[in-house]
Chains A and B, each alone.
Chain A
Amino acid sequence: MTSFVHPGLLLVTAGLALAPLRGGARAALALAAPLGAIALLLTVADGAHWSGRYLGIEVAPFAVDALSRLFALIFAIMAFGGALFALNQPSRLELPAAFVYAGAASGATLAGDLLTLFVFWELMAVGSTLVIWSAGSAPAYRASQRYLAVHLLGGVLLFAGIAGHVADTGSAEFSRMALDRPAHWLILAGFLVNAGAPPISAWLADAYPEASWSGTVFLSAFTTKTAVYVLLRGFPGTEILIWIGLFMVFYGIVYALLENDMRRILAYSIANQVGFMVTGIGIGTQMALNGAAAHAFTHILYKALLLMSAGAVLHQTGRRKCSDLGGLFRTMPFTTICGTIGALAISSFPVTSGFVSKSMISQAAADERLLAVWLALAAASAGVFLHAGIKFPWFVFFHKDSGLRPPEPPLNMRLAMGLFAALCIGLGVFYQPLYALLPFKADYAPYTGAHVVAQLELLLFSGLAFFVMLPLLRRTPTITLDTDWFYRHLGVQLAAGAAALLEACGAACGRAARNGASALATLVERSHGAAGLLARTWSTGGMALWAALMLAAYLLAHYL
């Protein structure tokens, strides 16, 4: 049975309809639209529902299979939770923009061809930029400009790749690609820009934490996970992704360890978590791809939960730096518990959602006998507990008493946090429904005695390392230079230098021209001026002598 309602376009339309609404109607639509999308996705059959021709190319703007359903479903769940959390957001722009953004992400995962994918890809960039804008501050506006520039660059790379692919093959069908031609490298580069992969990774920690307390919750979910989805579909088993993924994993940990802003810590940990997924995609076995897909699903929930708890703290205190926070568990116990559940889930503690998803990626590395990759993933798992699992809740909710006594956030924000906390624990215990949604048959038992004990050892001893080395982790009011330095500092300096050089050149050329002109004028003046050789009066005798000499020379020449 073909479906006529596209869940992504449903969210986009709801976003546009939300713009003029206020009060109860706005809340009702914001909660109902994602629920409608969830219901559609759970009932829609596999296969291409819409198809047609555009510019002579076959397109399938609405195609469903297990992989696209999984991602579109979690995007719709995220839109619901994010909308619930953001109901008391005074900005009239943010929620509509977030819905357009969520709908575009959903549309990208339901695109059966590269042209549709590209359209939704760009719509995502527009929606997410508007979400950052709606924070309304000057730093947010500047960060959004840098963010947009990076994503437009990614879009250009992707479009060039798609054009090349269509020219080479005559088809725009979105299926697995090999890195055998420049067009596919360009497509991969375009995908990786959105994944936050090196070298263009700094946009994530630069832009996301500048959004409002609720905006960052939306931003954390869609762009990077859509990139994971397209990598899963387009480039499974591409070995280079293992190494890119492992780089991202450690990059995220090290930068998060150095960071002071609580939401930037969590932004770096997005890069870290996406790194696990990209590594899994690079390994490319069914177990690894299942692990990457499941991890994207659980990651969206616990990362949103972590950013909700950080957003609640920002909403209630107006502060965002760890060095200004601490001791909030006294008056915000519910937020503390929810934030801690998110922290445990991101660390893959047993009975949380992270444990049942990330383990599959490590298992795949072990099955393939990739010892170095497996060791790196184990070290990184310990590092996740270090930078996000303990560091975030410790410095925000415990640690020193900052003297702040903020009350708990409003009811809708508590409900959203409670819902996602329940999902994080629920999926950790009842993981079969998630496994049933995965693209391949999941034949994996996460809860074996050896695995649980090994994971607890790894995590608890990394906790020990945290507390033993706490003096080294003292918060300082600093930032750490990242690759955005190249375009925020070096690029600006180079442009300023080039401008100065151009100006100096211009001045020098002008001077040289003036000097040259005056030198010429002097020369002309000397020969042709009033007293010049060619213009002054000559004596009659001299003239006669020269005329006689000329005639004599002529006579001589005649006889020679």
Chain B
Amino acid sequence: MQDHWLARDSSICLLRRAFVVVLALTVLAEFLVEQHPHFEVEGLPGFGAWYGFLACAGMILFAKLLGVFLKRPDDHYGRQNGDD
């Protein structure tokens, strides 16, 4: 039986391309709307795009670093009578 159309390789490839196109369009859309930045930095080209990407990359890396010190197996606090 064939898998759901969303799970096929061809659809995933298509979705990936569509995503890249949408990303490009959002940055280009910046030139079509009237800008009224509150801060200087907000007026830089593609501010939302690069700031969003870098902020997320930073948060993922920070979380990863914190995980090195604070991650524990999920039975860390032990199992007691009555647990399934």
Contact = CB atoms under 8 A, between A and B. Distances in A.
Interface in B40-70: 41-42, 46-53, 55-64, 66-67, 70
Given A258-B63, A379-B51, A465-B53, A449 B33 contact: yes
Contacts of B81: 138
Contact of A473 (B22, B60, B62): B60
Contact of B52 (A448, A465, A472): A465
Interface string A448-488: 11101111111111111110010011001111110000001
B52 A450 contact: no
B56 A371 contact: no
Contact of B55 (A258, A378, A463): A378
B38 A374 contact: yes
Contacts of B72: 478-481
Contact of A461 (B49, B60, B73): B49
Given A138-B83, A330-B7, A457-B26, A466 B52 contact: no
Given A258-B71, A476-B71, A383 B23 contact: no
Contacts of B71: 258, 476, 478-481
B59 A453 contact: no
Interface in A313-338: 321, 327, 329-330
A189 to B, nearest CB: 26
Interface of B: 3-4, 6-7, 19, 22-23, 26-27, 29-30, 32-39, 41-42, 46-53, 55-64, 66-67, 70-74, 76-77, 80-84
A274 interface: no
A382 B52 CA distance: 6
A454 B36 CA distance: 11
Contacts, number: 159
A493 interface: no
A284 B42 CA distance: 23
Interface stretch (A56-64, A149-157, A230-238, A249-257): A249-257
B34 A257 contact: no
B48 A139 contact: no
Nearest to B69: A481
A371 B33 contact: no
Contacts of A479: 71-74, 76
Contacts of A98: none
A275 to B, nearest CB: 14
A396 to B, nearest CB: 15
A457 B84 contact: no
B23 A450 contact: no
A378 B55 CA distance: 9
A142 interface: yes
B71 to A, nearest CB: 5
A450 B38 contact: no
Contacts of B55: 378-379, 382-383, 462
